[in-house]
Structure 1
Amino acid sequence: MGNFLSPPEKESSNNNKQPSVQPNSRKRKKKSSSLTRESYNVKKEKQKGKGKEKGIQKLKRKRYNTNATKKPRQQTQRISQTQQTQRKSQTQQNQNLELTKRKRPIKRKVVLMFSYCGTGYHGLQIQYGELKHIKTVETDLVQALIKCNAIHPRNQEDVKKIGWSRAGRTDKGVHSARQYVAFKMEFSYDEEQMVIELNKHLPSHIRAWGIRRVPKSFLAHKRADSREYAFLLPTFLFSGKKVQLIEPNFETKNNFVDDKVLFDKFDSEALAFLNQKVFSQFVGTHNFHNYTKKKNFSEPSSKRYIKRMEAEEPQTIGGIKFVLIKIHGQSFMLHQIRKMMTIAITVMRGGEKLSFIEESFGQQQLRIGIVPGDGLLLNKVFYEVYNNQKMGGIDKGDIYFEEKDQQIEEFLQNKIYKKVSQLEKENHTFRRWLNNYYQYPIERK
């Protein structure tokens, strides 16, 4: 069969078909693109909605958290501030420590020589623990050393940290003309200026005289070869009748030695007898177990060597006549010198014979009284062996200050001797002891 349409009709039909097909395809494309755009926009809107919801939720959470956790945040801020302040203080402390370490002076081992009047003090040695409140000479000395930056303040709790050692201990009320203390000193000044600064912070009855450099291993008591003590005693102890005290509440008793006194007054004859007959028997090596506490005859440490014992010419101090007795020995025990004076007084007043002194060195145990220690003082400490070895060293000189002898003698006269005379006038210490001594004579066990 043939075509029912004419050629123009075919064309027209073709024409009609072509536009119908092309726009449809375009429309479909448009529809697909519009759909994708719509879906894309919907997705965006949904995402925006979700984002808004999330943002709203976050804001709600933030608001909730801020409302619920305000106090902890303030606390954390406060803690952080305290931590910052602590850190700042720590850094400042560290910086200060570094500065102090840099600026801290050089520390050297030295020996310090000083004098002191021991009246009012419970001895020389510094005390710790339960006895910390007791006033001693070293407590004032250590405080003065701290004030002039010679030692660190923390070392006052235990002076052994700075290698502290003393030439010899002194008891309650005992004085010293030349005492030596060794320790590690911080040198802020030179030796002479340090002595001047130290005396500014010391009381008037304690005076520093000089400083010497010594080796690190130096110990003041072990390096000392010998010591010399001096005892200032009233002359009425050795001569004259018993001294009576006129006081309303004082009981006087008959003294059995009143009629046996060897000398009525202490003149040149009495002085010669005291030196040549009495004190000469103490010179040499003897067993002094009866002259101290808790010592037996068999103990080797009971033997002591006395080099010299001599009384000087009497002198009047404050209206009272005194005699100065010097005892030079290698070493001494507790109360040894005071008991030696008791035996000498007993012999001079006729209580015992001269032979009794030699008997006191024997095995028999004796109970000997003790003379008051108001006039006792450590006069000198000798470092002869050390001075011979170290003499001429570059920075370590001899341990003796001869140029200070005159000043020390003035200090003895003004601060110690006058104080002993004043105490005797006020308290009658030696008079009381003499009146009461023979109520408790020497006992033989």
Structure 2
Amino acid sequence: MRHYAVTRLIRAGISPVTSNLPIRCYAYRASNSLHRIPSRFQSFFATRTSSSYPELSDPDLEIQWRTLKDNNLEKELVESVRAEIWEGRISNKRARNEKAQAAKRRRLEQGEEVTTPIYATNFSQEDIENEQRRPKKKAAVLLGYSGTGYHGMQLSATERTIEGDLFPALVAAGAISKANAADPKKSSFVRCARTDKGVHAAGNVVSLKMIVEDPDLVKKINEQLSPQIRVWDVLVASKSFSSYMMCDSRVYEYLIPSHSFLPPHPSTYLGRKLVEVAEQCGDLDGFKARQEEVDGFWDEVDEKYIKPILENVPDETRRIVQKALYIEEEENAISAGEEPREPKVRAEQKNTEPKPDKPVEDAENTETDKPTLESDTKESDTKPNNVDPGKWQIIRTVKAIKAAYLDAKKAYRIPAARMARIQETLDKFVGTRNFYNYTIQKAHNDPSARRVIRSFKLNPNPIIIDGTEWLSLKVHGQSFMMHQIRKMVSMMALIVRCGCDPQRIVDSYGSTKIAIPKVPGLGLLLEHPVFDTYNKKAQSLGKEKIEFDRYSKEIDEFKQREIYDRIFREEEETKSFASFFNHVDNLPKETFLYISSGGVQAAASSQQPNASLSDEQKQSLAAVQSDSGSGSEKNEGNGEEEG
């Protein structure tokens, strides 16, 4: 209510010099204090002669503007109020753009090099002047893309991005005039949802002013684009349409291998700590109950997959191999993506794959031969000349064991009870929550950290690709912060695989800061944005609704070919998920013990995870909190939309 009468009028474009303009001024009480019009504004009002109303506390006080004879006095009032409202910010878009252009001209005049963005198409002044002027309309470009190989959605002056390919394609197709071909701002170019490096989208929307008279426009645009990017349609929208401002909500999908929900191997740091803390907290029975469907899995896998490999290995070699695979925690936490270092045995241990977990009967029902040292080291049959024969046998044995663990993981089929635990945990995210722990650089008291999740569902029908079982998760939210979805999926997976109470999700909304790693970006997909509010008005405006249902056949084919197949192929090549959870399990610190029976307080060092860590441990923690070698984006982005 501060400056209520003055500010509301000026914001509405009404001048305070209007005489006899009645305004009803209401006293407003908050925190037991009465807010009144500041004294410096009271001189501009004329009150009724029947009473002086010195406190302006009458809720039905009717006051009138006095006609201001002095224009300077009026100007002073307007400027002071605008300063209060805008705090010196430039509110005019054109003024901001002109300021940026002026700065660019100054740099050119001073001889500084101004780099042309890679997405800009430069035409000569003669070409621009000779081009026939054609009418432009505000339009919505509906598109889908595979983010593999791109540095995200948003335009970048130096990196290849989705918009960086789309904009010059629009220019080449004749949808952007030559005069505007170097600067997307001139066309009011706005995206609906920004995605980070490696993140895909089956449906996204870009709005801009463009030339839409060509009936073959969509075809011409697609001819200029990589097969990884497809434009579904170009729809003429209302003049005020903004794909960002008018988007009501967004739906994302995340694909994850079912073996990600296997518990940590008992030999890992996390595997040992979970049991230890459960015993200390008197929750051992509860912990075992939450892991009932995978109880004894590791022992059976070791018996079936690992024992045959070690049977013919000398005792001394076997001891070294076991140490290389299950060495103490400080040696077991390694940074992702590093090249193997000497000694070779220790380097091999760095990417150790923990064994799968699920009753082995599922694995036994699949056609998988028992691994042997000979069958699992075909690529390593030729011994390098400079490697000692004894060391070479150790290396081959370690590789065979790792390959056996991977085969067992691929054979894993998640039981219904495990899937029910996943859905129970996902339900804890639904509603308006404080997600400051699920992004970066936000405090608990930051209002922008409160986000609305409308639904978070697990598809009850897994799919099997090349022998690996995959699960599909879909989250529908009003908006998402940077890394939010990947951290939500990570938290859910940690809770399920570690036998944690799903209530820990609710605890994560509290003021205690915890370090939640983000799962690999390759599984994330923007399904489509939702424009319900705009669509309700579209018919009355004579415009088409912005929906993706009508393109479902083309989108499904594109998703399978350019997105799903790429995700499955990349995971097969990089083992990103196995590597990610391996690093989490082997990090030798209490950072992730908030998913133990001890709760968030058990992660004593999680607020300062780098304190008192060795250099190697710091590298390991950085690997877990990054993408664990998945090749996804760095810790940079827009800070608002997921990625």
Partner of 1:151 in structure 2?
Answer: 176
Tell me the amino acid that sits aligned with residue 198 of structure 2: G
Partner of 1:298 in structure 2?
Answer: 445
* Structure 2 CA distance for aligned equivalents of residues 427 and 255 of structure 1: 13
Partner of 2:206 in structure 1?
Answer: 181
Shift of 1:229: 0.5
1:237-276 matches, cutoff 5 A: 237-239=260-262, 249-252=347-350, 265-275=413-423
Any unmatched runs of 5+ in structure 1?
Answer: 1-92
Partner of 1:232 in structure 2?
Answer: 255
Partner of 2:228 in structure 1?
Answer: 205
Deviations 1:297-339 (A, max 9, x none): 1111111110000111211224321111000011110011011
**Structure-2 change in CA distance of 1:96 and 1:197 (3 Å):** closer
8 Å Cα contact 1:317/1:417 also seen in 2: no
Q: Note if 1:126 corresponds to 2:155.
A: yes
Shift of 1:382: 0.5
* Structure 2 CA distance for aligned equivalents of residues 160 and 251 of structure 1: 52
* Structure 1 CA distance for aligned equivalents of residues 476 and 139 of structure 2: 25
* Structure 2 CA distance for aligned equivalents of residues 338 and 95 of structure 1: 50
2:238 to 215, 235, 253: 215
1:137 to 138, 162, 166: 162
Deviations 1:217-251 (A, max 9, x none): 22111100110110011111123665999997432
**Structure-2 change in CA distance of 1:404 and 1:328 (3 Å):** same
Partner of 1:338 in structure 2?
Answer: 486
* Structure 1 CA distance for aligned equivalents of residues 128 and 356 of structure 2: 72
8 Å Cα contact 1:255/1:438 also seen in 2: no
Tell me the amino acid that sits aligned with residue 211 of structure 1: V
Where 1:374 maps in the other structure, the secondary structure is helix
1:84-95 matches, cutoff 5 A: none
Partner of 1:347 in structure 2?
Answer: 495
**Structure-2 change in CA distance of 1:439 and 1:291 (3 Å):** same
Q: CA RMSD for the aligned pairs?
A: 2.9
Q: Note if 1:368 corresponds to 2:391.
A: no
Tell me the amino acid that sits aligned with residue 428 of structure 1: K
Deviations 1:139-173 (A, max 9, x none): 11112111111113453433111101111110110
Deviations 1:53-110 (A, max 9, x none): xxxxxxxxxxxxxxxxxxxxxxxxxxxxxxxxxxxxxxxx99976652xx33221110
Tell me the amino acid that sits aligned with residue 250 of structure 1: E
Shift of 1:362: 0.4
Partner of 1:284 in structure 2?
Answer: 431
Partner of 2:74 in structure 1?
Answer: none
Where 1:209 maps in the other structure, the secondary structure is strand
* Structure 2 CA distance for aligned equivalents of residues 95 and 368 of structure 1: 56
1:385-400 matches, cutoff 5 A: 385-394=533-542, 396-400=543-547
* Structure 2 CA distance for aligned equivalents of residues 95 and 427 of structure 1: 51
* Structure 1 CA distance for aligned equivalents of residues 263 and 350 of structure 2: 17
Q: Report how many residues are paired.
A: 342
8 Å Cα contact 2:143/2:231 also seen in 1: yes
TM score, norm. by length of structure 2 = 0.50
**Structure-2 change in CA distance of 1:148 and 1:97 (3 Å):** closer
**Structure-2 change in CA distance of 1:158 and 1:273 (3 Å):** same
**Structure-2 change in CA distance of 1:254 and 1:430 (3 Å):** closer
* Structure 1 CA distance for aligned equivalents of residues 464 and 194 of structure 2: 29
Partner of 2:557 in structure 1?
Answer: 410
Bigger proportion of residues as strand: 1
Where 1:431 maps in the other structure, the secondary structure is helix
1:423 to 567, 570, 575: 570
* Structure 2 CA distance for aligned equivalents of residues 301 and 96 of structure 1: 47
1:172 to 191, 197, 201: 197
| Larger Rg, first or second structure (1 or 2) | 1
Bigger proportion of residues as helix: 1
Shift of 1:255: 9.5
TM score, norm. by length of structure 1 = 0.71
* Structure 2 CA distance for aligned equivalents of residues 421 and 174 of structure 1: 14
* Structure 2 CA distance for aligned equivalents of residues 126 and 303 of structure 1: 27
* Structure 1 CA distance for aligned equivalents of residues 560 and 125 of structure 2: 52
2:139 to 110, 125, 132: 110
Shift of 1:259: 8.3
Percentage of identical aligned residues: 33
* Structure 1 CA distance for aligned equivalents of residues 354 and 152 of structure 2: 35
Any unmatched runs of 5+ in structure 2?
Answer: 1-123, 266-297, 299-305, 307-323, 326-339, 363-411, 593-602, 608-643
Shift of 1:392: 4.8
* Structure 1 CA distance for aligned equivalents of residues 537 and 135 of structure 2: 25
**Structure-2 change in CA distance of 1:116 and 1:146 (3 Å):** same
Partner of 1:328 in structure 2?
Answer: 476
Where 1:406 maps in the other structure, the secondary structure is helix
Tell me the amino acid that sits aligned with residue 138 of structure 1: E
Tell me the amino acid that sits aligned with residue 197 of structure 2: K
